[in-house]
Every structure is written in structure tokens, then in C-alpha cells.
Amino acid sequence: TVDKLGLAWSFDLDTERGVEATSIVVDGVMYTTSSWSIVHALDARTGKHLWTYDPKVAKEKSRHACCDVVNRGVAVWEGQVFVGALDGRLVALDAATGRVNWEVATVDPALPYTITGAPRVIDGRVYIGNGGAEYGVRGFLGAYDVKSGKLLWRFYTVPGNPELGFENAAMEMAAKTWNGKWWELGGGGGTVWDAMAYDPELDLLYIGVGNGTPWNQEIRSPGGGDNLFLSSIVALRPKTGEYVWHYQTTPGETWDYTATQHIILAELELDGKVRKVLMQAPKNGFFYVIDRTDGTLLSADNYIDLNWATHVDMKTGRPVEVPEARYRDEPFLVVPSYLGGHNWHPMSFNPKTGLVYIPVLEFAANYGQPENFLYRRAAMNTGTDGIAGSLPDSQAERDAYGAAVAGRLLAWDPVNQREAWHVEHKGTWNGGTLTTAGNLVFQGTADGKFVAFRADNGKRLWDFPAQTGIVAPAITYEIDGEQYVSVNAGWGGAFALVFGEFVQADSVPNVSRVLTFKLGADRQLPPVDWEPTVVFNPPKQAASAET
């Protein structure tokens, strides 16, 4: 019946920056966010505006937001809506009115932290991480009381200065995997800027940890080391923040290969045994299936073509690196780039097809050692010589560069670790995915379409012109026996800021809206008066793919 899907209502978000939120519907009300951490409450049946909360983040804070002033959504718990503001505040709102119940500063406002991720709530505790690793911060996750905002615990993801002692045994263990004086170069990084997942049966909270500060390990930790818990999945006890186990996807990472990408919990039959697994396709290009009870690696294979490693050694759980990829002596063109083979855009799992649907990026980047590195407080410090973010000079080279940037929807079989099917898109930086029991996969695209595919074979069944690139994932919900599908449209984010108009002019301008569909509806969007215009203005330094 998907061919009968039509626009039921839309709501203008009144912004011209990236929109990345996953909306949430509770008791007939949709809660969503736009850029600048602004929260909207809408009637989920009609789109009627109920209230808006603007945290009034100071616009100069955008200088610490490497990848646009985006926000990925709210959490809702017992009559309260929780949002992390870009400037590091955690705010609790009355769900009925939008009135502020409490707010707390989760970070030192003097430091270049940001928040773009959605909070999570478990049993009366609200959890929030942060971003800003390139600018010089030490990553952590905080847990707060939902009624008062009181800090209950904090788990740091990288060790501090050993001379000051360690917060716990996990930090003492992690410090043995570092060298040099990383704490003097911005704190080490490792920010928890997106992925979290909770298993109520095991009572484990899983967090994804980001990249190091600087990216370049030669500078950050001279002499090497795994640099725990960078680029790791860490399991914690949600009541106390106690460390339980970890798995590191990229030991000693040096390419901005975060493990903050979407985490899916599922049960899979592997070798005749049903296993409780955790699945992730992080930036580094490998798809991981991990036993979520203890962190044992069950399988790993590359979901894209890559050149920095040959494979993952199943005996050690470590990638087998190509030595030249660490760019110690010569620059190296690395695939995937700092944007990753998969970025923050959520992937989804369909138990009926057994497939995971991944928004894949194809994008290479040069990395090289800088002749001289000087740490700059509260500025972007990648530790590369700048060629990683440079664009070619000649028109012919730019045309070739743009043609090499690609994106696709990949259906991945996690049991057999192989591709089931894929669909090539016109460009990269396409939206997150939603899969349903009706054998469908929904995805927005960078060229302004909202599309439904068959989940078992990828056949394109339906699309809707959204008038702007879509990067957010869709949701589905049911009210009064009617099923709705909704997605937030609005082109922006890391790729769009640096490269968007250069290689994907038809993604712009930003026309930020909530678009909600149901069977039999036939509303139309007002026309947009614009023509694509390619503008080339090469940046001096890449934007990180970390927010």
C-alpha cells in the first residue's frame, strides 16, 4: 500500500541550518528539535503547534561546533522532555507546556564542549555526553537525577594527568595505554557525542566513544599505545557508572575513526546458537557483531572498500593495519576519510529480513604529518598538515573529486557478514534509515527525496520531493488505528558545511520542515523559488566529522 502514501501535514522549523533529529511521539504529541537546540511540540495527528522552547544558545558558540549547530533529539520521561543544548546545558521541560523545570551546566562553560546528541533516560536517570574533541576537551558521560538535575555520576572515557590520581580502576588501566602528556593537548578527546543503547535484561548501558585530541597519534601519544577508550564501545552499569567491559574498534586511532555510530541490540543465530549481540558499523569501515554480555568479538568484516587495514584478526580482535596508512613518513590517501564509511546517520535492523540498512559514505581524504604543530587552545587541532581538508585547485580536478564522492543504501547481512543488496544514490551524506514490518526501508536522500524501498531486495517503490536534502532518519507511529511516517528535512551537517555546495548543489537551500505522511493523504508543499548554484570556496582545514 505504500504507493498510496501521501503528505498528511508539514511544519516549518524556521531554520536554515542542519536538521538531524529523530522525533519521538508520546501520547499523541511529537517532540522534535531543529538547529540551535530548539524544541518543538506538535500534535502528531495534525501537526498543530503546541509549544516551542528556545534555549537561546549564544551564536558565538557555533565556533566550537565543528559540524553545524545541529541537535539529534530529545528524551521523554514521566511528563518531562529533556534536551541537551549546544552550549552544554541539560534542560528539563514540562511536556505539556514547554516550561523549564530545571537546567544544569553539564560541562565547564569555559571549555569548548558542545552537545548535539540526544539524552537517554533509564529508571529516573538522564544521561548525556558531549562533543568538541578537536577543540581540546576530555570526554565523559554524565548521569543526572530526572527530578532535580543533580549529578549522580560521571564516567570519563580517557585518563587525566596520572600525577593527580585516577577516578577509578578503569582510568588507571586506560592510562597504561597512553604515552606522553596527552592531558596538556586538550585532554585526550574521546567524547561521547552520539551513540548509546541499553539492555534492561543485562542492565548494561553501552556507549560509543569518539576520536582523540589531536587526531594524529604521533602528536597525541608519541610512542603509540592503544589509547583507551578512544574509538571504543564501553559497557557500564547505569546506576553507578561502573565499567564492565569494552571493545576497541580502532586501537591507537589516528584518522578520526570514531565508534560513536549507531548501536543496535539484537538476537542472532550464529553457528547454531542464539546470541545476544551488539552491532555497529563505525567510521573505520568494518561491521562488528559483538556478544553484548561480555564484549567478545563474534565477527567483523568490511562493509565498504577500504585501504587503511586488510582485515580484522579474529584471534586478537584488532585490525591488521597497512603501515603506510599512519602517514608517518609520507602523506597517505585514506579510505574511508574522517567522515567515515558510516557517520552518525542511524542504521536500522529488520528481524524479518535479517538485514541491517546502512547509510554508506564513499569519500577519501589525504592525511599527512605537519612540519610544525602548535596546540591552540579552543581551536581545531587535528595534528595534520591541512591537506586532509583541502580541495583541488583546477576545475578538472574538482570535477574528478566530486565524481569520486558517492553514497549508497547498503543492506548488510550481519550473520554472514556480506552485502545482500545496495542502491546507489546521486550523492553522499544521505539520511538515516527506518525499516518496518511491512518489508519497507525509508530513507531521505541528499538530493531532496524521501524514498521507500523494498526491504528484501532494494526495489524503489515510492518517493516524495522534499525540496531539500534530508539527513535525519524517519520514524513511524500509530494513532487511532492509523499509521504515520514522519521525517525531518533540512540539509546540513559536517559534509554540507565543507563540501555540500561544491559537489551537491541540488541539496540546497535548506528548507527545514517536519514532513509527516499517511495513507490516502494528498497535501502539497508550497513551491520553493531557487536554482542550484555551484559555489567553490575551498576551506583551509577540514571540518571534523565529530560533533
Beta carbons of 252 and 226 less than 8 angstroms apart: yes
Q: What are 51's strand-pairing partners? A: 41
Q: At 520, is the secondary structure helix, strand, or coil?
A: coil
The runs of H, that is alpha helices, within 147-192 are 169-175
Q: In whole angstroms, give the CA distance from residue 20 to residue 32.
A: 10
Phi, psi of 169 (to 5 degrees): -65, -30
DSSP 525: P
- Using alpha carbons only, give the angle 59, 194, 405 rounded to the nearest 5 degrees: 85
Q: In whole angstroms, give the CA distance from residue 445 to residue 504.
A: 11
Q: At 485, is the secondary structure helix, strand, or coil?
A: strand
Return the residue matching grid coordinates 543544548: 85
Q: In whole angstroms, give the CA distance from residue 393 to residue 383.
A: 23
C-alpha cell at 513: 520542515
Phi, psi of 72 (to 5 degrees): -105, 10
Beta carbons of 343 and 337 less than 8 angstroms apart: no
Beta carbons of 313 and 299 less than 8 angstroms apart: no
Q: In whole angstroms, give the CA distance from residue 133 to residue 312.
A: 26
Beta carbons of 308 and 335 less than 8 angstroms apart: yes
Q: Is 43 a catalytic residue?
A: no
Beta carbons of 291 and 302 less than 8 angstroms apart: no
Beta carbons of 381 and 220 less than 8 angstroms apart: no
Q: In whole angstroms, give the CA distance from residue 482 to residue 479.
A: 5
Which listed residue (226, 256, 385, 447) is catalytic? 256
C-alpha cell at 311: 582485515
C-alpha cell at 7: 503528505
Q: In whole angstroms, give the CA distance from residue 523 to residue 201.
A: 44
Residue 79: how many other CB atoms lie within 10 Å: 13
Beta carbons of 446 and 439 less than 8 angstroms apart: no
Catalytic residue positions, numbered: 256
